[in-house]
Amino acid sequence: MDRRSFLQTTALGSLGAAALDPSDLPSGAEPNTPDNRPNVLVILADDMGFSDLGCYGSTVDTPNIDRLAEEGMRFSQMYNAARCTPTRGSLMTGLHPHQAGMGHMRADLEISAYRGHLNNQCVTMAEVLKDAGYNTLMSGKWHLGKEHAHWPNARGFDVYSGLLDGASDYFNPPPNRTLVRKNAPFAPKSIAHFESEENILSDFYMTDFFTDEAIDQLRQQGGGKEPFFQYLAYTAPHWPLQARAEDIEKYRGQFMEGWDQIRHRRYERLVDAGLIDEAWALPERDDRVLPWRDTDNKERWDLKMAAYAAQIDRMDQGIGRVLDTLEEMGERKNTLVLFLADNGAAAVRLRGDDARPGSPESYMSYHRPWAHVSDTPFRRYKIWTHEGGISTPFVANWPGEIDPGSLSHEASHVIDIMPTVLDATGASYPDTYDGRDILPVEGKSLLPVLAGGDREGHEALYWTHTDNHAIQRGRWKLVSPDGRETWQLYDMKNDRTETTDLADERPALVTDLAEQHQAWSDRVGVLSWSEYRKRRQAIRSN
């Protein structure tokens, strides 16, 4: 029996069992020893909408991610936690954000659910895999604690290079943004931290820096007997719009037909690809977005979207370089690659300045009209718990283990990634770590799905961020954008695009789901948004 058949017929999907024992394997199966355990590469994009990849309906050039999809599996219903920091906390721990200390962003309320850094009740994927004998590597945006005690190398990563903060200038990061290179503070264009001038990065661009460091890590530590886990977390395409000129020029004029036409075409491609149901209506244009025909400065709007596309394009180029490196090392076939985004597109409006969009001198966003396109076919954006805020493209690639070109409609959540990785590697989730009791993992492994089978899914999925709340149980999703003052009810089977609110027709179901969401909120330590702000103000005042 080969490993793929073994994975399809065993109970690896139920996390909690100890790491595989050779005596438990069927006759003829290879033991999951350090010599044949898979490498793992998790790639995270930042503020990217559901339909921004070529393989999810876009015309943005993403051949390398598209190739991962063509040779692997796309998911149509993978969810994140609506915003960067909460999603990253869940990704690293398999817990809901509040359980990991990331109930909001970086403010520390001195209570477990709102520490602004990973708390002591969780264990990271890197910590577990490091204890299992993996080399643990990270390049990119961390955003899970800026104090040295909370850096990635303090949470299980052998080596880290990247950005500890959130948004940053891509060409010239300001002094209040902390860059790290090989576990030490780093300043671009400065020799202060290096022994020789050959280490100076005079042509700094954030996306390329992350890619270069990831490749260097692989070459330095990824080619030994021990398998590796690498986490590559890009800031692209998070604002500010800043991209290399040659990448922007590639897209100039491609968006002059306007957001209305482009959004409809993406919708049609998603239907044709089988990623969405044609019965789900494309919602009307956001009422805060003008029709393209009534919009002034069309060339400038085109340039903004060209810069945004260029940011994604450069990220994809970097992913291609990483994959080529794995191929050169002979590790590509034994590497599980997972790609997703941390939240939906950002509708934030940065007025910036009059500089050319995308240039190093500019600092602006592409704004709500283009974010509306990025989140096609869904409503709302980053921070909201409507589908536009929490839906992410998700691509899984594992040569020989996942059927090429496969598609899954399994309702999945970012909390599922850690148990999936642990199942694939044979590592076990601990009850205690470093003398601390650890909360049980909340996610469920997707390994049976990747192997072409089924799994026992979640009884319900939950979200809370700021004043936005949601629960999905089976076909029903209850969502509130105003602190539970009102609830909206949607039938995800017939209307995942959330066009028809059924709350008035099913009041008993609304009450039932709302009570279930409140019970979950109480269990994981959610504060009301008003209470959160009150506590934060009190801490600031002291």
Residues recognised as catalytic: 84, 143
Do 438 and 431 form a contact (C-beta atoms < 8 A)? yes
Q: What span, in angstroms and rounded, lies between the C-alpha atoms of 193 and 146?
A: 19
Q: What span, in angstroms and rounded, lies between the C-alpha atoms of 183 and 153?
A: 7
- Token pair for 537: 């103000």
- Cα–Cα–Cα angle for 197, 202, 203, rounded to 5 degrees: 145
Q: What span, in angstroms and rounded, lies between the C-alpha atoms of 535 and 116?
A: 14
Element housing 234 (H / E): none
How buried is 135 (Cβ within 10 angstroms: 0-12 exposed, 13-18 middle, 19+ buried)?
A: buried
Strands (E), 228-267: 228-233
Distance, CA of 416 to chain centre: 12
Q: Residue 212: CB partners within 8 Å, gap ≥ 6?
A: none
Q: What span, in angstroms and rounded, lies between the C-alpha atoms of 419 and 125?
A: 9
Do 142 and 163 form a contact (C-beta atoms < 8 A)? yes
Do 394 and 69 form a contact (C-beta atoms < 8 A)? no
Question: What strand order describes the sheet that includes 488-491?
Answer: 461-465, 468-473, 476-480, 488-491
Q: State the residue for tokens 């790639």.
A: 43
- Token pair for 212: 């270069």
Element housing 143 (H / E): none
End-to-end Cα, the chain, rounded Å: 64
Q: What span, in angstroms and rounded, lies between the C-alpha atoms of 413 and 392?
A: 10
- Please state, in angstroms and as integers, the Cα–Cα distance from residue 262 to each residue in 52, 255, 347, 393, 526, following that order: 11, 8, 17, 18, 39
- Token pair for 153: 């190398």
What number of H helices and E strands is found in the chain?
Answer: 14, 17
3-class DSSP state of 508: helix
Q: What span, in angstroms and rounded, lies between the C-alpha atoms of 481 and 82?
A: 12
How buried is 298 (Cβ within 10 angstroms: 0-12 exposed, 13-18 middle, 19+ buried)?
A: middle
Q: Residue 198: CB partners within 8 Å, gap ≥ 6?
A: none
Q: What span, in angstroms and rounded, lies between the C-alpha atoms of 25 and 8?
A: 13
Q: State the residue for tokens 């104090």.
A: 147
Q: Which of 85, 106, 119 is nearest to 524 (CA)?
A: 119
